[in-house]
Amino acid sequence: MNQTLSIPTEDAVEYMFERGWTDGLPVIPPTRDKVSAMLAAGGREADELLGSVPARRRSVSAEILAANAVMAGCRPEYFPIVVTAMEAVLDPAFNVNAVATSTGGATVCMMVSGPMVSQIGMNGGHNAMGPGNRANATIGRAIRLTMANALGAKSGMLDASSLGHPGKYTFCFAERAPVDPWLPLNVRMGYTADDTTVTILAAEGPRQVSNHLNEDPESVLLTFVAAMKAPSNFIVGKGGQVAIVMGYEHELALRQAGWTQDKAVDFLVEHSRVTLAELEGGGIALDTAQHNMQPGPDGKYPVVKSAEDIILVSAGGPGSGWSAMIPTWAPTIHTRALTRRVRPVGEAQPDCGEAGCEVPWLRNSTLTSKENEHDND
């Protein structure tokens, strides 16, 4: 990726196919001018190291990421979000080495919240998780291409996905700002309304949640619970994380009934706990070797261990009662969701002194002692 080649434009795409630099779809040739424009838009130097994966002896520089962003079709103004997402992916708490190489077929799901959503034209409305929006599609694709080209996560090489899923091409969408008094995701994660954030999740494919006829808030949430508790989800009984993508009508039903987001999340945590009979009814045996599946005091096993393990985000346009549930590919002992703020170009790094800085996302980057106490739930 660092070499400079002189290839006729009409041959460049085929050349990149031959070298295995694509995801199976055509890419944009990363010319020097295009890569430089991408770096300038992100305020990054070419040789700036964004992170590394020691287990694979691989690292990602700003130049490598910029080249893959060009190949993915990103516009330069998308690059600050791409950089933020990549830095989160390379955080050890996310465990990209396992995410990118496991047989489970996980991908990086990216949820963007804040003012940059409208500034760069991302989609959080109709078809938010589908095709048709350049920013959504190419930001997610840039991360996936970088994982393949810089970290070696390619089919037949380090990517051992048994099946995979279409989200491994790209899985990125924007938040549809919820209606007051509900709060947007960036604010719920501890940032300000003026901050743009990227939340990443090591995700399986989304499960659509349908409840068209019932506006009772508990009934709506029990439909999500049914999706969360399906024993075919690998995290069931082990304690993983989920993104609850709240569609327009379902959010409206909860909000008009006076339910807060916190109340909804607490309900989901409590009611998604499963019994041994439910697991066995789905053909699932207890795994007490790797995951230490032990029942809690209520005799049940967790899908998610705490409210912090549910990411509640609003997305989608009005229809007739559609939402989605996106589970992580593995329990929290293997990977954790992360939220990062997009740092504006030119913003100086803080001078923390000897005491160090308070970083809001650290609460999502490491297991706290309280969480460790409940590892056997």
Percent of the chain with pLDDT over 70: 91
Among 51-60, 216-225, 235-244, 254-263, which is the least confidently predicted range?
51-60
Structural domain spans, the chain: 206-327
What's the mean pLDDT in 202-209? 97
Confidence tier at 373 by pLDDT (50, 70, 90) = very low
Res 362: pLDDT: 47
- Residue 350 banded pLDDT, cuts 50, 70, 90: low
Contact 92, 367 (CB under 8 A): no
Q: Residue 10: is its pLDDT beyond 50?
A: yes
Q: Quick: pLDDT tens for 76-108.
A: 999 999 999 999 999 999 999 999 999 999 999
Determine the pLDDT at residue 372.
38
Tokens 């424009």 belong to 37
How many residues does this entry show for the chain? 377
* Alpha-carbon distance values, 2 to 25, 149, 264 (Å): 21, 11, 49
What's the predicted TM-score (pTM) here?
Answer: 0.91
pLDDT attached to residue 364: 45
Per-residue confidence band for 11, with pLDDT thresholds at 50, 70 and 90? confident
For 233-280, strand residue ranges (E) read 242-246
Closest CA to 39 of 8, 17, 61, 15: 61
Closest of 152, 147, 155 to residue 72, by C-alpha: 147
CB burial string 280-308: b at 16+ within 10 A, e below: eeeebebeeeebebebeeeebbbbbbbeb
Is residue 93 classed as helix, strand or coil in its secondary structure? Answer: coil
pLDDT tens-place string over residues 267-306: 999 999 999 999 999 999 988 878 889 899 999 999 999 9
Specify burial of residue 328 (Cβ count, 10 A radius: 0-12, 13-18, 19+).
buried
**What confidence tens digit (pLDDT) does each residue in 39-56 have?**
999 999 999 999 999 988
User: Omega of the bond prior to 181 within 30 degrees of 0, cis?
Assistant: yes
Query: d(Cα 136, Cα 154) in Å, to the nearest integer?
Result: 22
Q: Would you state the pLDDT for residue 175?
A: 98
- Model confidence at 361: pLDDT above 50: no
Average pLDDT across the chain, whole number: 91
